[in-house]
Chain A
Amino acid sequence: MISLILALAFAGMQDMPDTDSAQAVSEAAPEQPAPEPQRDPVTGELPVDPYEMSDAHAGATPFAGTGMRDAFHGQDGIRRVVNTMVDRATNDPRISEIFVSHDLVRLRRTLFEQFCYILNAGCTYTGRDMASSHRDIGLQIDDLNILVENLQAAMAQEKISFSAQNRFLSKLAPMKRDVVTR
């Protein structure tokens, strides 16, 4: 009973990735704090293992010209779309579980970079490629469709024309083979 309360209190205290819970409880004593990952004081992100960075990891070639950038209201609009989409997805009871152990600060940044790069709005993509970033998530096609709906709702809220929404989705649609893993 006491260990359960401790575990609950501990889980509520911080958002480090899953560790062995028995070990976590024993290390929760104040004398000996666990070596937990620290969020970067500037970016607010948790550290990740180093990996090679490339725009090719965005999974799609960017649009030519400025039409799509303008349709999405530039970087400000893209940032609003990404934030709205992540807010909706993480609050959507059908898929919110997927995001529980995720660094949402990093997710918002890398998604923004990916969308911004593909929409030719002046960004470099520094995230992982689609296959390795989704390998351990175990998404089903139903999850992806719900994510697409969340993205569509976010784009509609930004008042992006439906034809521009679909043009953007046409860049994302081929990524299904890397994103849906079961």
Chain B
Amino acid sequence: MNRLIDPVRIACILVLSASTLATSHAQDLRNGGKLLLTNGVSTIEGSGGGGLATWSTIAGNATQEGIGAQAHGTVIELPDYNWTSYGIALGFFDRVELSYARQNLDTIDIGTALGLGRGYTLNQDIFGAKVRLAGDAVYGDSMMPQIAVGVQHKRSSDDAVVAAVGGASPNGTDFYVSATKLFLSHSVLANATVRFTKANQTGLLGFGSATDTSHKPQFEGSIAYQLSRRFVVGGEYRTKPDNLAIAREDDWVDLFAAYALTRNVTVTAAYVDLGSIATADKQRGALLSLQAAF
């Protein structure tokens, strides 16, 4: 175990700072003031972002004047797996985000092949925290992005499987720094995130391997074009570590369309290419995500 910082301690500090902020603002909270879609789309790891890639945006519809919340449910239909995730995130004064997500990977027939039993489902819990450090994704200097740092502490529920595939630990913590900007003059939103991680398949197959337990920098990029206030199309690319000897892991790609049905409800559909997952190659399929934000 070579944890850089105790994630529980980080969480405590963040909750404390968020509640301090809440107390100082409690007089005149004003919720739900963000411009449409500028809260992004919850990722499969529960943080505010673009679906697969995490952004520096703070979840929920509140600005610096209030407290917002966002819940998501996502299904990904793949040739050999069914992926589901759901979670909630709280955004405090457009400054601090706390999130939780649950990921489930139904292995269907691959479960049989791997000796787990048909339909064996891998699960993990993800606890996230994010702090916006500087900048504004929408306003301000057009060349100054919104910058945030965050952590995601992940706990796989499948210790035995993680050990069997060669993962060093069922728990792990990712650290990331993210920059996001809406370039209004081109109607383009761009995001770049560097994540330091040792997660195998985001952690569903554990963290690190017998020979490699170090965090490695990985890149998450998103680019999106705003067709209207309600409608955005774009693509994402996410690199991933490849730690396990028994199964190759590939980078992820998606092409998405997100539509704000109302101020509170966003639906996202995407084509995703998740590459090889636990010996099953070419996991290309469809992602559908429903998000409610306040």
Q: Which of A148, A162, A173 contacts B142, CB < 8 Å?
A: A173
Q: Binary interface profile of A, 157-182, with partner B (CB < 8 Å = 1, else 0)?
A: 00000110011011001101100000
In the complex with contacts A166-B184, A169-B184, A149-B35 CB distance below 8 A = yes
Q: Which residues of A135-153 are within 8 A (CB) of B?
A: 140-142, 144-146, 148-149, 152
Q: A167 to chain B: which residues have CB within 8 Å? A: 184-185
B136-A166 in contact (CB<8A): no
B30-A142 in contact (CB<8A): yes
Smallest CB–CB gap between A3 and chain B, Å?
32
B140-A170 in contact (CB<8A): no
Per the bound structure, the CA–CA distance linking A180 and B228 in Å amounts to 25
A177-B184 in contact (CB<8A): no
B140-A141 in contact (CB<8A): no
Q: A152 to chain B: which residues have CB within 8 Å? A: 229
Q: A140 to chain B: which residues have CB within 8 Å? A: 30, 33, 63, 65
Report if B64 contacts A (CB, 8 A): yes
Q: Which residues of A107-159 are within 8 A (CB) of B?
A: 140-142, 144-146, 148-149, 152
Q: B138 to chain A: which residues have CB within 8 Å? A: 173
The B contact surface, by secondary structure, is loop
Per the bound structure, the CA–CA distance linking A163 and B185 in Å amounts to 8
A174-B142 in contact (CB<8A): yes
Per the bound structure, the CA–CA distance linking A51 and B140 in Å amounts to 27
Number of A-B contacts (CB under 8 A): 57
B229-A142 in contact (CB<8A): no
Q: A162 to chain B: which residues have CB within 8 Å? A: 187, 226-229
Q: Which residues of B55-99 are within 8 A (CB) of A?
A: 63-66
Report if B6 contacts A (CB, 8 A): no
Q: Which of A142, A163, A169, A177 contacts B65, CB < 8 Å?
A: A142
Per the bound structure, the CA–CA distance linking A53 and B132 in Å amounts to 39
Per the bound structure, the CA–CA distance linking A148 and B38 in Å amounts to 13
Interface residues on A, range: 10 to 19
Q: Which residues of B120-145 are within 8 A (CB) of A?
A: 136, 138-142
A142-B63 in contact (CB<8A): yes
Q: B183 to chain A: which residues have CB within 8 Å? A: 170
A177-B140 in contact (CB<8A): yes
Q: B65 to chain A: which residues have CB within 8 Å? A: 140-142
Interface-centre pick from B139, B142, B187, B229 (highest chain A CB count, 10 A):
B139
A176-B140 in contact (CB<8A): yes
A141-B142 in contact (CB<8A): no
A170-B63 in contact (CB<8A): no
Per the bound structure, the CA–CA distance linking A162 and B66 in Å amounts to 29
In the complex with contacts A142-B33, A149-B35, A152-B229, A163-B63 CB distance below 8 A = no
A174-B141 in contact (CB<8A): yes
B136-A176 in contact (CB<8A): yes
Q: B33 to chain A: which residues have CB within 8 Å? A: 140-142, 145-146
Using CB atoms, name the residue of chain A closest to B184: A170
B63-A141 in contact (CB<8A): yes
Per the bound structure, the CA–CA distance linking A162 and B186 in Å amounts to 10
Smallest CB–CB gap between A151 and chain B, Å?
11
B140-A166 in contact (CB<8A): no
Q: B187 to chain A: which residues have CB within 8 Å? A: 162-163, 166
Besides the known contacts A142-B65, A142-B66, A170-B185, 16 further A-B residue pairs in the complex with CB atoms under 8 A apart: A141-B33, A141-B65, A142-B63, A145-B63, A146-B33, A162-B187, A162-B226, A163-B186, A166-B185, A166-B186, A174-B141, A174-B142, A176-B136, A176-B139, A177-B139, A177-B140
Can you offer 30 A-B residue contacts whose CB atoms are under 8 A?
A140-B30, A140-B33, A140-B63, A140-B65, A141-B33, A141-B63, A142-B65, A144-B139, A145-B33, A146-B33, A148-B35, A149-B36, A152-B229, A162-B187, A162-B226, A162-B228, A162-B229, A163-B186, A163-B187, A166-B184, A166-B186, A170-B183, A170-B185, A173-B138, A173-B184, A174-B141, A176-B136, A176-B139, A176-B140, A177-B139
Closest 6 CB pairs of A and B: A142-B33, A170-B184, A170-B185, A176-B139, A166-B187, A166-B184
